[in-house]
Structure 1
């Protein structure tokens, strides 16, 4: 099974707290609740609407919350609303309350709201989408990844089971934060949450293993795809190829590329760019150019990144004349070379004293919206007047550039 291939690579630190919450009773009344804040004077009249004895429909409560000026007043409203006989909170109410706190960066208050929901004797029905948004807030806005993970494993307490989408979001969040020890714990908790592993989940594991340098383990996960009744996709192979190229194992990356094609998976532009970049790092610029042409025959049109990698390869190899011609081809394709490319090209052409080519490069730079810097002009002047610090009119190059 896939667990055996992963467990020996991830750090097996204890994170039992993530799963302990699953064993406690749903909607427990023992949860602590933070007292509500003092009422803001400007919200007093709005909050008084909750004190009326008339029936208060759920939609009216939402309007009252929207009318509140101070986020601190929201908690007071919840306290007053909870004492009414017509108290009937729903997902729309909690979503609005949480969004109010997000706008005010009151993330502790969000935790309080979640505890209030859990403490209710009869929890209102909350959807997976609700928890997905809460987890997303914790992870992407608040930077509280541990809260996001805890919320995932708390979901059964709210009588809601997470979807694969929510599970994979947390898994990817942990990988992006390089919390690889927790990645393993969360993955192993999938059965307890009723999650059936899919290709996206396996891709996230491969990404995590590659990022922590466990490339061989990542390949073991690749071999587990058919056992899990999943099919790898172009992202699966691209992630592995990128890691191979980063490790200087370009030949193995091309072998994986051939395997991908044999399995009927079409490479995309990113796949080709990874291989071209790998060839560039090894100084195999001609092979990079050939691969660029091969892309077109495969029906996968190269982008600016594809051309830029080949151009950098030519510049690294000091093939400046060829790089100048290649730059012209890029421009004809409607692509703009980078400023660094132009800078390196000018420097190389100046060393070869190819001033006519330098003039062409300068004109292209200006047309592309780039402004030649002082250092570039000095280099051009030195190439025009080699061995001299001043031109024929006895003016220094610095003075010419300054003027």
Structure 2
């Protein structure tokens, strides 16, 4: 820091190195004043960013406010990226969403207009922190802040309204979006479907699915997983299985999550033969069920006296790297052919296979 007292000319990168070397964050503002007193130096955005990062890390938010007040008086012009980082600091480090909102509103005072990215971040932060009462206030500020709304913005609003239980208002945004020159996408619909299915309103989720088709929006794997999961949760596993089969014909391929939720639904509904077939399909795709699914499926096949099928599933289970243990004492078994038979007989005696 002694270099700031020298009369030698200091390059901007040298000043950055000086501030980066300051260990006590409490000294930053006083050192900054000394640097600004030099005739050969004017602060840069890079220096402000460095100082604010250090001060925020030390939780000296009062010093941050002091720096910003000085910058405003001196009419320093920051970039949108600077404010994006500052708003994230208030939201994540300081846990002060109100200050993040204030910073968003204050940006024009620094001759900087927020980008859609920065605006959406504030919305997303408020929804994540469940500050629903002010989400609409921020949304309504878009015109005076010069923000062009996009589909991502509406997806955030949809999520917030659904979390708040305002499903009708969330669905009405589907009609509002075109008025703002935005179009809903698969994410918009999948968010609505997810919360509807969570509340047991699966038929309404399927109404939205049909609306997607009419609007020629392609459903992705996430959409199908949500619908299949919702059906299974209601015990409508046969319908879920049919939906699963229709995926590929719609140009959408199931992933491990699709298989797993459907497998769990089949086992819970005691559709063990269908579940065994699904496990075979998973193996062909290079996927594997969870250990608990294997365990419940083997138990189920044994309970309906399908011993050959149980043998087959147990062998698949071992091929996938699971190491079964049997009996209440958790004693490990050696997986020879004879032991597989023995394991099945043991399970017939109502003992469970688990890890």
**In 1: Cα distance, 2:315 partner to 2:55 partner:** 54
Return the match for 1:108 from 54, 57, 60. Answer: 60
Q: Compute the displacement of 1:147 (Å).
A: 2.6
3-state DSSP of counterpart to 1:143: coil
The 3 A distance-change label for structure 1 pair 198 and 384 is closer
Residue 146 of structure 1 pairs with residue 98 of structure 2: yes
Q: Does 1:349 align with 2:301?
A: yes
CA RMSD of aligned residues (A): 2.5
| Secondary structure of residue in 2 paired with 1:314 | helix
After TM superposition, list the pairs within 5 Å mapping 1:103-252 onto structure 2.
105-109=57-61, 111-120=62-71, 121-252=73-204
Q: Is the deviation greater in 176-185 or in 120-129?
A: 120-129
CA distances 1:158-187 after superposition (whole Å, capped 9, x unpaired): 221111110111001111111101212212
Residue 296 of structure 1 corresponds to 248
Deviates more, 1:125-134 or 1:81-90: 81-90
Between the aligned partners of 1:280 and 1:149, the Cα distance in structure 2 is 41
Cα distance, 1:372 vs structure 2: 3.0
In the alignment, the residues of structure 2 paired with residue 370 and residue 143 of structure 1 have an alpha-carbon distance, to the nearest angstrom, of 44
How far apart, in 1, do the equivalents of 2:53 and 2:323 lie? 46
User: Please, what TM-score do these two structures have when normalized by structure 2?
Assistant: 0.87
Whether 1:58 aligns to 2:22 is: no
- Structure 1 SS opposite 2:60: helix
What are the superposed Cα offsets for residues 240-288 of structure 1, whole Å, 9 maximum, x if unpaired?
Answer: 1222222222222222111111112111111111111111122222221
Alpha carbons of structure 1 residues 143 and 361: separation in structure 2 relative to 1, 3 Å: farther
CA deviations 1:104-142 (Å, max 9, x no partner) are x32324x52343232243232210011111212332344
Moved more, 77-86 or 174-183: 77-86
Aligned residues: 340
Q: Point out where structure 1 has 5 or more consecutive residues left out of the alignment.
A: 1-46, 387-396
> What is the rounded CA distance, in whole Å, between the counterparts of 2:5 and 2:308 in structure 1?
84
Q: Which of residues 342, 347, 353 is equivalent to 1:383?
A: 347
Please list every run of 5 or more consecutive structure 2 residues that lacks an aligned counterpart in the other structure. Answer: 332-342
Match of residue 264 from structure 1:
216
* TM-score normalized by the length of structure 1: 0.77
